[in-house]
Structure 1
Amino acid sequence: MTSDALALNCSLALRDVDPADRATTAAALGYAAVEYWWPYAEQTPTTAGIRTFVDSVHRSELPAVLLNFPGGGPDVADRGLLCVPGKEDDFLRAAETAIGIGRQLGTTFYNPMAGNIGAAWVEGSREFETALGNLLRIAPLVADAGAQIVLEPLSGFPDAALKTFADAQGLVRAARAEGAHNVSILYDVFHAAMNADPAVPGAIPAIELIGHVQVADAPGRGWPGTGELPLESWLGELRAAGYTGLIGLECLGEEPRPTHRAFTGA
C-alpha cells in the first residue's frame, strides 16, 4: 500500500505526542493526511484555541481529512448528539463549530457521532427520526464546505446507536432518499470485526455507501500485524470492490510507525 493512500489518526495513534506536534509528526512519518477526534476538552473552544489547533495542522502542510463533531458533554456520555431527541439545537451548534474549523483544514469528512440509545436501533423510531432530521438539517452546510458526513458503527459501547453496517446503511439510505446525497458510512474494519458484523470486507452489501475507511488490528486495536485480522487481504477486497479513498490508521500502542512500515512492522 502506497503512502499517499494513508492517513494517520493523530488523536489515537499519536496520543502520547504533544498536541501541537501531532500533525507535523504524522508528516515526518510520511502520511498523506491526518484525522482527528474532537480536539478540545470543551464543546465550544475559544478563538485562541481554534487558532492554535489550526496552526498546528497548517505547519504540517497536510489536510485534516476527517474531523469528529463535539461529543455533546457528560449528559450524553460525550458520545454524540445525532440521535438524541431534544438536543437538536445543540447538535446544530456542534455542527457549525466543527465545520467552521474544518473549512480551514481541508476537511472532507465529518463524523457527527451518532450517540447512545437505551434500546435496539430501529428504523422509524424516535431516535432514528431525530438522527435523520439532524442529517437533513446539516447536509447543506457540509456540502457547502465541499465535504461529506460519515456515520460510524462502533464496538465497545453497549448503548451505541449504530453498531453494524446495516444500522448505518438504513440511515444513509433514508437521508439520501430525502436529498442528502453527501451522507455515507465511516467503515472501521476494527469495529466491524469486534462486533462480528457480517458486513466484513468481501461481503459488503453496498460499497458505494462507504465514504471513508479506518483500520486497526484486533484484539488490542494495535497496528496492523499486532493482532489476528487479515487487514491487507481485506483492504485488497475493498479496493477490488471499488473503494478508492484514503485508509485511516486509527491504531494505538507501540511507537507510531512510518508509512513504509505501517503494514509490515519490519
Structure 2
Amino acid sequence: MAPLLSDKRGSDQRFDVNLSILFTELPLLERPAAAAAAGFTAVELWWPWIETPTPPQAELDALKKALEDAGTQLVGLNFYAGQLPGPDRGAVSVPGEESDRFRANIDVAADFAASVGCKALNALYGNRVDGVDPAVQDELALENLVRAARAADRVGAILLIETLNKPESPLYPLVSAPAAIEVVDKVNAATGLGNAKFLLDLYHLSMNGEDLPQAIATYADKTGHVQIADNPGRGAPGTGSLPLEDLLDSLRKAGYDGWVGLEYKAGDAPSAESFGWLPAEARAGH
C-alpha cells in the first residue's frame, strides 16, 4: 500500500495503535512488542479483561511489564465496558450489576493508568435497556462519569466521552457529536474540573452521516483524543473513501495536537502489513 500521508504531513502528527483491534492475532502480552517492531512507540487499549473489572494484580503487572519491555507508551485506556468487542457498548449507564462493575473498575483502571503514565481514560456510555426510563439511565451515567472524572483527575488524566454509530450500535444513545459534547459539558459542570473531553472518532461520525470538517471545526477545542478508520469497511486508511489526509490536516489546523489512534481492522493479512499508508517516521510519535 502506498503512503497516504506525505512524509512532512505524517511526521507532525502523533499516531498510536489500538492493540484491542490490531495485532489481535497475538496474545495480549505479545502485542506491545509487535507494535514496537512495526515502528510504533505508543499504543492504546480497550479494557483487556472483559470478564472482570478487577483482574488480579499479577495480570496488571504483567501487562505493565510487557508495555515497558517493548518501550511502548500507553496513551489511552478504556474503563471496563462489558463484552467488547461484542454486544455491550459500555457500562456507565446500565443499572444493576454492570454499573456496579464499572464503579469497581474506576480506581483499578485509574491506578493502572497512573502506573504506566497513561493520561486518557475512556468511558463508554452503555446501551439503552428495555424497560428502563432513559432519563434514569442518564442520571446514573452522570453520577458514574463524575466519579470517573474525579479518579482521572487524581492521576493527572482526562476522561473521554465517545460517540459510536447508530448502524452498528443501535442501542447506544450517543450517536452524534453534539450528543457526546452535551455529556462532556454536563460532567465538567458537575465536577468543576474541566477534564472531560470528546473522543472524536472519524469512522463513527462518518457512519452517522455527520459533516466531518464541520465537526472538527466546531469541537476540536473540546477534543481529547482522535481515532481513525476508513469507511466503508472500517479498514486501514486508503481502503475506503474517507478523505483522511484532508481530515487530519483539518484537525491540525483547528489546533488539535494530541494522539491519533489507529482503530481499524487489518483484514485477513497480519496487522503488521496494514501500515503501508503511514510513513515509518510518523509511527514513532513525538
Structure-1-length-normalised TM-score? 0.89
Deviation at 1:118, TM superposition (A): 4.3
Match of 2:177 in 1: 165
Query: Counterparts of 2:246 and 2:210 in 1: how far apart (Å)?
Result: 17
**Cα distance, 1:216–1:138 mapped onto 2, change above 3 Å:** same
After the TM superposition, which of the residue ranges 157-166 and 3-12 deviates more from structure 2?
Answer: 3-12
Does the CA-based 8 Å contact 1:23-1:57 persist in structure 2?
yes
Overall identity of the aligned pairs, in %: 34
Give the one of 224, 231, 241 matched to 2:237: 224
After the TM superposition, which of the residue ranges 189-198 and 254-263 deviates more from structure 2?
Answer: 254-263
Amino acid at match of 1:164: S
Give the one of 54, 58, 72 matched to 1:62: 72
Query: Counterparts of 1:59 and 1:264 in 2: how far apart (Å)?
Result: 24
User: Any residues of structure 2 matched to 1:1-266 within 5 Å, and which?
Assistant: 1-2=10-11, 5-43=14-52, 44-72=54-82, 77-86=87-96, 88-118=99-129, 125-155=135-165, 156-178=168-190, 179-198=192-211, 200-204=212-216, 205-253=218-266, 254-257=269-272, 261-263=276-278
Amino acid at match of 1:35: E
Amino acid at match of 1:111: N
**Which runs of 5 or more structure 1 residues have no equivalent in the other structure?**
none
After the TM superposition, which of the residue ranges 124-133 and 250-259 deviates more from structure 2?
Answer: 250-259
Amino acid at match of 2:121: Y
Amino acid at match of 2:155: A
Measured against aligned partners, the alpha-carbon deviations of 1:78-132 in whole angstroms (never above 9, x if no partner) come to 422212244554322121121122122211111111100148xx9x922222221
Query: Counterparts of 2:265 and 2:104 in 1: how far apart (Å)?
Result: 31
Does the CA-based 8 Å contact 2:82-2:91 persist in structure 1?
yes
Does the CA-based 8 Å contact 1:29-1:259 persist in structure 2?
no
Deviation at 1:197, TM superposition (A): 2.3
Query: Counterparts of 1:197 and 1:117 in 2: how far apart (Å)?
Result: 22
Higher RCO structure (Cα 8 Å, ≥6 apart): 2
Query: Counterparts of 1:81 and 1:105 in 2: how far apart (Å)?
Result: 24
Query: Counterparts of 2:46 and 2:188 in 1: how far apart (Å)?
Result: 25
Measured against aligned partners, the alpha-carbon deviations of 1:182-218 in whole angstroms (never above 9, x if no partner) come to 10111110111111123x1344322211100000111
Does the CA-based 8 Å contact 2:236-2:274 persist in structure 1?
no
Secondary structure of the 1:174 match is helix
Amino acid at match of 1:129: E
Query: Counterparts of 1:262 and 1:129 in 2: how far apart (Å)?
Result: 43
Secondary structure of the 1:103 match is helix
Query: Counterparts of 2:62 and 2:129 in 1: how far apart (Å)?
Result: 38
Amino acid at match of 1:116: N
Deviation at 1:16, TM superposition (A): 0.9
**Which runs of 5 or more structure 2 residues have no equivalent in the other structure?**
1-9, 281-286
Secondary structure of the 1:149 match is strand
Amino acid at match of 1:186: L
